[in-house]
Each structure stands twice: as structure tokens, then as C-alpha cells.
Chain A
């Protein structure tokens, strides 16, 4: 049901309709009106659009205004029409949205009250509100970088106040796998006041509530004012605990600003883990104060380095946005550039097979490099790296050890390594190499725990030869979470679940966001092509995958999922377009775990994509804008 009062009358003169008559004659009347504004080409017809939208069976239908009543603009319809509004990800509990909006101005949006157990939490909530208000402001069209205020506004719009009240009961200020992210949000309107009441057990739930609230607000093209849904009742909590995006900053470097934008956008989608694959064989862009040579030798250039202040800044930037910044230090493979200095400084060759040719014999992807796990100095340096990483990313609740794609032949063809094995009476069979690798992992864990002040935290490792049937021999299920990067039909998944391992799904056949470009090194498609469209990401259900192998969803073991963006053929130029809106598809799968497939989410996703673009994210288009304006007509049956 539409309230006509939500449609403006302040621009009554602009709502000029075109009466019948001779074509050219009438244009004489119309033209001055159109030309006046088109002469400075400020890109706005100030006449009202000929089109409006009517809500029919939860669908916004585009219709020509008939001159008797003016239909609402698209954004008003989107807010009020469908049962789920334009909320993304869709809330999982109570969801009742009104069908009316009220208009207000940005300055009337205030944080009215904060109830929290201490001042630290109060400050966090204030920061989150500030971010929220900034996002609301971005709804306003800009001119010359400043929000463009239309107007004049009706008195009713001018005096309307939107007041937010936040209550948080617990003290948690750090995300962990035990953090409740639940919240409730109520919006009520009485006269010139709209109250938004947020209740959450901790800060993280409260900030999610602010994200949701921001999705109940839209710019109204007709009045130039903001509008908010006048009533709403929402209770919400995520289905999966771990909802992540992986960014690889070693194959190509990403500036701090781009990572900030990624964290912002993750927050807007209620994703909670930014898995930072910070180093790899190609480069070592991490500046360590105790080991400056790592970045000095290993970064692409001095401009392509993350300095300690950058890291600390990003960790805090994420925390305020409900995103854990989770570091990975991939080892013993996927190391290389950055380690060249050790030989010169008398520590020996700590990385073997570095840039060795022909690469295919010594690694899974060029350039090669693998830690020299039989030189004790390796552990000295590794411990130092962990120590500084723990300090930079603290407090850690998890750590990613990498641990994928070891090429045994690298070790087995290195003189120093082979000599060590012979001296120690080790036979050079696969089993022994795997034992040595597992031994390295045990030492790495000890070094990390010691770096972490003796506090043991869960470690994450990629699926590898150590995670096959014999995994129990190598990795303790209480200690390690296994991140699965193979395909959804890999029996390893069933094996891991049956043995009681917690897992995170990053199956490349659906969740690798780098697939489908041209191959990096030859003509033809990349190894993991084709491109994984948002529909595939959305429909990749952890429940279904676990059930397929074990007969049950194993919610206690399947912590969640993560979409990786390996960066061999991505840098800041296309980062946003690769991550979004496909990252949003992942977000709804993990937060909401909908029973339905992508089709019923499409209209909301398209709008959500527009919202991200409005906030400055260069998210990819997935359809012509026509589909956004003509809901449900871009189908294939």
C-alpha cells in the first residue's frame, strides 16, 4: 500500500506532465524547461521522471506516471515492496518491514543513546555510528566531491529526526569463533520522530545492526532527501561463524587504501574474516623491524611494502568494522624472494630452489622456493617472523600456517638437504619427507605458541599431502583447522569431517575468484577456469557438501567458508570488480544459508551491488541497469 504523502509535493512545478496536442508546439513549452537545466549540463532534468514504480506482488513494476498520481521512485519502491526489502545478507530471525518511508535530512540522524558496560565499548559504538552515518551520507549524489543537497524541503522533512539507540551488554572487543554476532533492531515512527533501537550482546552484533539499519535508508530522487522505512522489526544472527575473503598481496601488491576499501565492503556484507596471504615466493612485502632485509630484498619496490604502522592500522580498521584480520605466513613452500640475504649474513641458505629452473621440477607454480628445514637458522628466523607478526596482528585468535604445495623434489635434489638425510640415516622415500615436513609443522607451531606468550591458538593449514588419510599422524584435530581448497566433490572433505577436524571451505570450483581469466603464462584459459559467476558462489552450500559425504551438515565442524582472490592476474585495477558482488553472494550463503538458490536473491543482489558502488566500491556489473529498473524481466526460462 502506498502512502502518497511519501511522494513529494515540494517540486510541484517540476511534476509537469505533457498534455496532448501537436508534437512540435508542445515542445516549445517543454523545451525551455528542459534546456534551462541542460545548458549547464549539470546532468539533471529537473522535470520529474516520466516513470514511477508500483509494488505488485512484491515486485517493483515500472509504469508511466499517468498525471493523476505520481508513483514513487525506484528507491522508495525497493525499500518498501519486497518482504525482505533490500537487506543483504537477508536476516535469519524475525523480519518485519513496514511499507512506508519517512523523509529526513542527514543532520537529523543522531546517536541518541549508548548503553554499554564500559567506556571502551562506548567509544567503539560511537566510531561505528560515525562510519554508519558516513555511509548514509554517500547515498546523496555528489557534485564536486560534496553531497548535493536538493531542496527546498518541506517542513515535515526538515524537522524529522532519526534517533539511534544502542545497547550492548557484554565486554568483548575482539572477535573470536565464540563471539555472538546476533542483534535485534527495531524501527518505529511517531510523528516527527523515528527511533531505531539496537540491542546486542556485544559490539560486533551492534555494528551489524547498524549495517542493517543503513540498508533501510535510501536517497529519494524525487525530493532530494533521505528516507527511512518508518517501521521495522528484525532479529538476526549468522549461520556460520567464519565468513571470509582471502587476499594475496605477494603475487601483486595492493595499496593500503585498497585493503581498507575491502574491509569496508566486507563489513557492509557482514563478512568477518580478512585472510591476508601476505607473503609468497614472488615477494615479501611485509616490513619487519627486526628483519628489515626480508622486505628490502623481497619487496617489488620500496613503495610496495606494508610497514608496521600500516598493518596495525588495518588490524584496527578491521576490528572497528567487525572484521578479523587473520595473517597467513605460508611455509614451508611458497617462500622465496626476501630470503636471499641470509647466505650473505652467514646464516646459510634458508630457502632452497629459489627461482630455480626449470621450475616445473622444483615447485608447483613459478617461481620456486622452499624452506631449508634442516638448517636450524631457519627456525631462528621463522620464530622472529612469528614474533613480530603476533605483535603486529595482536591479539590473534587464529593463525594461518599455509602449508600447501610442498614439492618434495626440491628438497630431494638439494645437496645440503640430501647430505643431512644421509648423515642422520634417513631414507629418501616419500614417507620420510612427509614426516620431516610434519616435524617442521610441529616446530612451527611451537615457535608460534612461544611468540604468542605461550598461549596456544588454533592454527589453520591448507589441504595438502599431510591432510590425506594419514592426517591424524601429522596434525592434531584439536589444534588445527583445515582449509579445503580442492573441489566440492573431493572425498578428503568426508575424511576430515569423519575424523573430527574443523574445516573451512574454499573449494576452487566455486569459490576461487581469480578463475576464468586468460592463463597467466600461455594462450588459453587459466587452470581453474571458467569464471565462477555469483550464482555458483551463492549456490555453493557447505551444508550440502558436508551432507553429501557424511549424511549431516556437521555444523559444529564446518566453521564456514572463504573466497580466495589469488592475485597472479589482479592488482588494484580490478580488485573490487573481482571481489564484488561475488563476495556478497558468499556473504549471504554464510550468514543466511538460504534454502533457496540464487534466483530468489537476484533482485536484492543487484540493488545491493548499486549500494556498494554508491559507497565507492568498483563492484562489477552483473546485468544491464535495465534489469534493476525492470524487476524480474531478465529471466531465462
Chain B
């Protein structure tokens, strides 16, 4: 302890007498408060003269049945004792295939860095640990022993992400044994292990729960976040931070809505004019090295970086140059056309020109380069939402082409052409991918509406991502027709809702704000049971929360995504049968942990609630 307790009390007696204590030494006294674990709850009590109270972190690590693990593992036994150690005393040995071992080395570095960040004075590059420490702390070692049984180094929908983690302590050594089928399970185990560790106030050290047994695997295969980088640009560092935080929550898919009608921030070496014309500025561009870096950054963290190239709507800026090129013509129509309400759902408008075959040439080229940048792909997102037929039907070139080909000009005629576009897009992507089929993902749209979907889309080729409400009957229809689905229903999982309107006044279209409780309580299985009578676990791949960025950029991306993304993570990893309430204290602690790791996650309660468990009820 820093400063003895007895001599610390003396100055307090001078309270009402003007005794300007040196402020810096004053607060190296132990806190007047300590904690006692009482039936799974940490109770704050006056420390004076009491021997058996512990620090808040110690209590949090050991008190609840799942400690402060997030997402809650399938099964876990967490011990009641902690041992102190220093982050410099961690060793590891691995048993794995060479490619896996290489990844594991990186995962261990990340793990150690995450532990460094628990120090309240952490700053990159500095060593804040100052002690003084007792011999027991200095002499204690944490040994990692990791065994990975297969050589997979890429995530797919078939990847086994399960792991077992066993922590035991004998004398001066704590050993963590991790056994998994894949690298991805092993890195999840390291995340869990990091959550059995916390900073120990007064000792200026780390502490770990001395014994724990965890056996864990996710309920849903696909656990994602969408980030839109077209409405506003999000810097590479902010995306790295997002991937880090997804990894901390065992989310595994970063769905990158990279382009839209607003901007084209993707630099393509074969088509540099797309971003030259389409980026907000040359500072708002993702260069090939950035993309490759982020794909790899995600892979090491167990996160698939899944690209979306939204088409045939949600295109626009970036395509202006083709018209001036001899032999290319206009490949996107209605770009920035006014009045926008007539041609799209939000300004600016833009839609691909189905009548110009050069459009497919360019689309193929874009796919070629995207496949290369994001390789190897196991999924590809085609977008495919919110086509405005009026745009096409008021564009002379397209009307003429429809007429020439005797297609008709009614809505169904356009749906057929849209369906054809989608099929050609799929072929182009397959070609770009060396003729290897990739499962495609599409948003719900007119093509997936009641009675339409099997006319246009083959259920072995496409997964449908649902963005309408949880009570949309389309969900039942898709499931009954054996489409695999991913849930992103806006009434629960759109993270951009609840702000002001950005066109006009009032609140934005999908208000109110979706609180973490709402995010947590939305259960895809319940929806499936309601609509089809069965939970449809073979068809429901999982879910994804969306952050559309009309009103978000680097400044608020963290606070919009977190901690609500963590609520999503537990829903998808654990699929708890209870609602948010029993998760609340763990959730708050997890949020604190994310902040320590450098994420500007939003506060959801006064810190008082963190220090007074269970008293912030209604």
C-alpha cells in the first residue's frame, strides 16, 4: 500500500481547521470506500477499520457468475480469488500450424497491449507502471499455452469459433490453457482471458482471477457492423479502432458500405477517375494500401472485412467523367438530379444506366479490383436497395432502350431489367473472382418483396439482409422460401436514428434513438418463431447493426457504435434468454473497458451506477 492507513487518517481530523493539505499526497491515501460481494452484487461500504473489503475492480472480476466477461460465454466458472502480476511477466507457448502460429504471435502482442491499456495513465509508448510492488507481485508469472488444431487462416461461415480456456494458479504461476479448432477461436479465448484481468488500484499492478474454466462458442455465425463511408468519410484510424473494438466484443464482420451516390472514396488503380471525381477531396480517399492494411488488420482480429458495392441505385458522384470519354457515354443517370424527391430517397440521386453496355465493362473492372483488394472474399455485398424506377423511366436514353427492346415501360418491366442487371453483376463478380462463386448478399428491396423474390434471386446464391422492421411479413416469406437472412431491422439495429433531420426539420426518419436495451432485446429467433413457428437457425446467419453516416463522421463514430455494438454482440454471440436487465452491470463494466482501450464509447449512466451496483433501477 502506498502510505500507511493509520498515518493517512490523521490529516482528516483537521477537517474544519484550515489545514491546506498538499493535494497531491492527499489522494494517495486509500479510498474511504471498499467493496463487498453480496449475492453476486458489489456493495460499496465505508472502508474505515474494516479488513475484508476489496477494490471495485477486484469485486467486479470475482463477484458475478460471469465476472465481467462480455459477451457472456456459453459456460463459465470464474474463481473468487485474484492474484497480482505485472504485464512484463507474461510468457507464451503455442502449438499450431506455421501460418496459424504467425497469426497467434500477433494476437499475443495485441493481448499484451490490451492489458497495458488497463493502466489509468496509459499512453502509447509509455510505461506507466511504477509500483512499488511486493515480491509476490513481481515474482508472479502468467503463462499462456495455446493449442490450435487446424490450419484455417480465413474466416468463413463454416469457421469454428469455439474455444476452451482454463486458468489455474499454482504458487507463483498462473497458467492459461487455450485449446481451439481454429485461430479464430484462439483469439476469442485471448479476448476472454483479457477480461479476467483488471488493473489493481493501490498495487499499481494487474490482477487475474486465479482459476477459471470457460467453454464457449457463438450462437450466430454472422455478427456484424455496417459502416457507411460515403455519406461522410471515416478516417483509416477510426476504422482500425472500430475493428479493434469489434474484436473486443467478438463481432466478426465489418460490412463496409464504401461507396454511395454522395461520394466515391475508393481509389482504384485501373479507374483512378472514380475517386478523382467522386471523393470529397484527395484527403478523403482510401488508397489500395489502406484497404489491404485494413483487411489484414481485421483478419488478425477475427473480423472479416466485407465490401459492399451498392448498385444499381446508390451510385452517382464519381461517375461523372465517363460521359466525356469517347466511347463510354453516360454510365450513371440522374446524378445530382433535381428535384431530388422525384428520383431518389435522399439527395443526391444517381442510378446506373442499364441501357449502356459500357456500364457493365466498368462494373466488371470495379469488381476486379475490389476482389483483389479484399481477397480472398468469402462473401460479397451487392447492395441492391432503393431503386427509383422514376429515375430510369424519365431518362430518355433508358426509355428509348426499353422501347427498342419491346420491354414495356411499366414497373414490372423495370423490375425484370433490374433482375437481369443483378444476374449480370453476379456473373461479373464470379469472373472477377477467377470463376469461383461467392455467396452474394442483397438488401431487401422491391426484388425481395412478397411474390417477387424467387423470380429474381436464387436462394443458393444470395443471402438477404433485412433492413425493414421486425414485424415485416417479408421476413417470414423469405424464411419459408429457404433464403438465408441477416437481420438489420431499422427499428432496433440502426444506430444513426434519433438525431435531428438533415433535410428539413424535426427528428430524423427512423427516430427515436435505439437505446442499448432495445438493441440487446431484439431477438432474431423470436421474430422467426412469431412468423414461421420455428427459430430457423439454419437460415438465420445472424445480424448486423448499421451506422449510416449522413450525420456521423470521425468525431462521433465511436460514441454511436459503442457501447451499443456490444449489446448487439451479446445478443448474437450468447443469444441470452433474459432481457438486458441482468446484463446491465457487466455491460457498464465492458463499456469502461472499451474506453480504457481507447474508444470514445458513450456513457449510458452516471459513474455512480458503476460504483453502486443495482441501485440505478426504475
Contact = CB atoms under 8 A, between A and B. Distances in A.
A637 B504 CA distance: 8
Contact of A38 (B23, B267, B336, B615): B267
Contact of B608 (A282, A307, A384, A518): A282
Contacts of B120: 303
Contacts of A308: 23
Interface residues of A, number: 103
B213 to A, nearest CB: 33
A247 interface: no
B27 A296 contact: yes
B15 A523 contact: no
B276 A45 contact: yes
Contacts of A636: 501, 503-504
11 contacts: A290-B18, A300-B611, A302-B28, A303-B120, A518-B604, A522-B517, A535-B500, A536-B505, A621-B555, A623-B550, A630-B336
Given A49-B281, A252-B607, A307 B507 contact: no
Contact of A302 (B27, B328, B504, B595): B27
Given A292-B15, A293-B12, A367-B615, A567 B606 contact: yes
Interface in A283-318: 283, 287, 289-293, 296-297, 300-305, 307-309
Contacts of B513: 516-518, 525, 529-531
B603 interface: yes
Interface of B: 11-13, 15-16, 18-21, 23, 26-29, 31-33, 46, 48, 120, 231-233, 262-263, 267, 269, 272, 276-277, 280-285, 287, 289-290, 317, 320-321, 324-328, 336, 338-341, 347-348, 498-507, 511-518, 521, 549-556, 558-559, 579-580, 595, 599-609, 611-612, 615-618
A619 B607 CA distance: 24
B515 A221 contact: no
B432 to A, nearest CB: 18
Interface string A519-547: 11111110001111111100000000000
Contacts of A621: 232, 549-553, 555-556
Residue among B31, B339, B347, B552 facing the most chain A CB atoms (10 A cut-off): B347
A44 B505 CA distance: 36
B583 to A, nearest CB: 12
A84 interface: no
A634 interface: yes
Contacts of B507: 516, 530-531, 533
Residue among A51, A384, A531, A637 facing the most chain B CB atoms (10 A cut-off): A531
B498 A531 contact: yes
Contacts of B19: 289-290
Which applies to chain A's interface (DSSP): helix, strand, loop or mixed?
loop
B600 A573 contact: yes
A629 interface: yes
A305 B31 CA distance: 13
A514 to B, nearest CB: 11
Interface in A556-613: 567-574, 576-577, 598, 613
Contacts of A627: 347, 502
Contact of B605 (A51, A521, A573): A521
B118 to A, nearest CB: 14
A357 B551 contact: no
Contacts of B326: 20-23
Residue among A367, A535, A636 facing the most chain B CB atoms (10 A cut-off): A636
B21 A520 contact: no
Contacts of B267: 38
B16 A291 contact: yes
A633 B503 CA distance: 9
Contact of B263 (A304, A520, A625): A625
Contact of B600 (A21, A292, A303, A574): A574
Interface stretch (A27-35, A96-104, A167-175): A27-35
A253 B290 contact: no
A636 B517 CA distance: 33
A289 B559 contact: no
A634 B33 CA distance: 54
A296 B29 contact: yes
A622 interface: yes
Contacts of B518: 518, 523-524
B500 A626 contact: no
A627 B502 CA distance: 10
Contacts of B282: 43-45, 49
A31 B269 CA distance: 8
Interface of A: 20-23, 27, 30-31, 34-35, 38, 41, 43-45, 47, 49-51, 64, 141, 221, 251-253, 282-283, 287, 289-293, 296-297, 300-305, 307-309, 337, 340-341, 344-345, 355, 357, 359, 366-367, 380-381, 384, 516-525, 529-536, 567-574, 576-577, 598, 613, 618-627, 629-630, 633-637
Given A296-B26, A525-B513, A637 B287 contact: no
Nearest to B12: A293
A533 B514 contact: no
B276 A289 contact: no
A384 to B, nearest CB: 7
Given A43-B287, A636-B503, A618 B512 contact: no
Contacts of A517: 498, 513, 515, 602, 604
A573 B512 contact: no
B548 to A, nearest CB: 10
A625 B28 contact: no
The 9 closest A-B pairs by CB, nearest first: A518-B515, A533-B500, A636-B504, A302-B27, A523-B517, A618-B555, A45-B282, A573-B600, A574-B559
A626 B608 contact: no
A178 to B, nearest CB: 35
A622 B617 contact: no
Contacts of A634: 347, 502-503
A623 B263 CA distance: 13
Given A20-B324, A521-B618, A621-B552, A568 B602 contact: no
B21 A292 contact: yes
B603 A570 contact: yes
A341 B602 contact: no
B338 A633 contact: yes
B27 A624 contact: no
A301 B328 CA distance: 66
B46 A620 contact: no
B616 A300 contact: no
Contacts of A567: 603, 606
A288 to B, nearest CB: 10
B502 A30 contact: no
B616 A521 contact: yes
Contacts of A357: 615
A179 B471 CA distance: 60
Contacts of B604: 517-518, 520, 569
B262 A531 contact: no
B285 to A, nearest CB: 7
Contacts of A624: 231-232, 262, 502, 549-550
A297 B44 CA distance: 12
Nearest to A525: B512
Nearest to B235: A43
A279 to B, nearest CB: 13
Contact of A568 (B272, B338, B498, B606): B606
A341 B617 CA distance: 26
B494 to A, nearest CB: 14
Contacts of A630: 336, 347-348
Contacts of A41: 287, 289-290
B263 to A, nearest CB: 7
A573 B595 contact: yes
Residue among B13, B33, B120 facing the most chain A CB atoms (10 A cut-off): B33
Nearest to B603: A571
A121 B48 CA distance: 52
A39 to B, nearest CB: 8
Given A367-B612, A569-B605, A535 B27 contact: no
A531 B508 CA distance: 10
